[in-house]
Amino acid sequence: MTTASSPVASLDAERAADHRVPVTVLTGFLGSGKTTLLNYILTAQHGKKIAVIENEFGEIGIDNDLVINADEEIFEMNNGCICCTVRGDLIRILGSLMRRRDRFDAILIETTGLADPAPVAQTFFVDDEMQGKLKLDGIVTMVDAKHVLLHIEDSSECQEQLAFADVVILNKCDLVSPADLDDLQRRIRGMNAVARIIRATNAEVPLDDVLNIGGFDLDRALATRPTFLEPEYPFEWGGTFDFAPGNVQLVLADGPDPEMTLMAWKLPNTTADALAAAQDRVAVHFSDDPVPVQPGQGFELRLTPTELCLDGAGEKRFLLHVEHAGAYALFTQHHPDEFQMRVEQQTQRLLPVAEHHYNPEHEHDEEVTSVGLEFSGDFDQQKLNRWLGDLLMNKGTDIFRMKGIVAIRGEPLRFVFQGVHMLFDGRPDRPWGDTARSSQLVFIGRHLDRQALHDGFRACLAS
């Protein structure tokens, strides 16, 4: 008589036979405790070497300084959000990591608090090279049990983070009553019926619940978002043209934005296949800082995007210098029709030979911004405490997230603080040592007044 094998044993055997590197995506809205969980993972005794990729939403990246010293390799991306503008950077870092595969056992990606996890997860399914070397092990979503209800209705990012989670960690449970926790858990269960929900304080959870969980379900992702496997690109349109040597004029009327980012790309021919073959390579470079061009100015083909500056009313012309005749593609941030864009050469209007419309990438609420401040010199602790207290009391509802590293007069240790809305936590950290005593603050929220924040922080400097 034969007996059926245990499903659990079969799953363990399948995982053992899969030699791809497991990747965990750690997400969660601003202030949910992602960095706290990351520190907990890095200091726990699990015997694994973990490479960490951090992404921040802001002008100044300080999360890398908030992560405790560890043997793990830590990569930081703070020039945009991982789900949109820096996905090319993510692919490059992953490729670099795989060239030293023997130095780690797993990869953990900490997203910004404003990231939609779906485009990040998509990277491991639509890129053949990534799929062959890396496997998405699971999406872990941190939830700030105290404040999540302030964002769950009007934040698509918060909703997406919960919908795509394999594990939801209900954090800061010590700040919420048991009855409210039960109500919140039922609310989350209504948004995601299959994710495992774990309650935690200070992000302390069993590591087996967040690492090597084998939890990401592609079928469920497709049910949540049918377009999950359709690539999202940082451009909305691409078209192929036959250009002669000389100047090509791009003529744009008034449109929805004061600028339009584009890239020109040399192709072997003008077919749709040639356009499709170039789109992924262009996407990698499209996330780089664009080179601004004013109306009437010219620009060359380059491996960085061009930003056409469109301030002011009326038609504007830009010159693309073409050295050699042949097939070229234009990839544009917005659809050309939004600006009534025309492509002209030698007084003739050129129409695209082949064109394609792309799924535009995730965009953030434009009211949510980041303000980064940095000062040299020491601060007066009493002045700083009074200013931060007044700020949180009067503007706390608009400040989603606040974090900083401050040099306090007479103190040999760095002072590190973090805040979420009106909650604030500060503590002495490690010694400054040979590091310059430079203070940094980052605020993320709505209706932030940069000048008022700058002046208020500066007024706390020690005399």
Tens of pLDDT, residue by residue over 267-286, are 999 999 999 999 888 988 88
For 269-306, letters b (16+ CB in 10 Å) and e give ebeeebbeebbeebbbbbbbebeebeeeeebeeeeebb
pLDDT at 160 over 50: yes
pLDDT of 53 reads 81
Higher pLDDT, 296 or 40: 296
Spell out the domains of the chain, with CATH numbers in brackets.
20-224 (3.40.50.300), 235-360 (no CATH), 368-458 (3.30.1220.10)
| pLDDT tens profile 240-255 | 999 999 999 999 999 8
pLDDT at 5 over 70: no
How far is it, in rounded angstroms, from Cα 410 to Cα 408?
A: 6
| pLDDT tens profile 360-397 | 654 544 555 667 788 888 999 889 888 888 887 787 77
Residue with tokens 């005593």: 437
Q: Where are the beta strands (DSSP E) in 337-422?
A: 342-345, 348-350, 355-357, 359-360, 368-376, 399-406, 413-420
For 140-158, letters b (16+ CB in 10 Å) and e give bbbbbbbbbebbbeebebb
Higher pLDDT, 158 or 258: 258
For 318-330, letters b (16+ CB in 10 Å) and e give bebebeeebbbbb
pLDDT at 168 over 50: yes
Q: Name the DSSP class of 1.
A: -
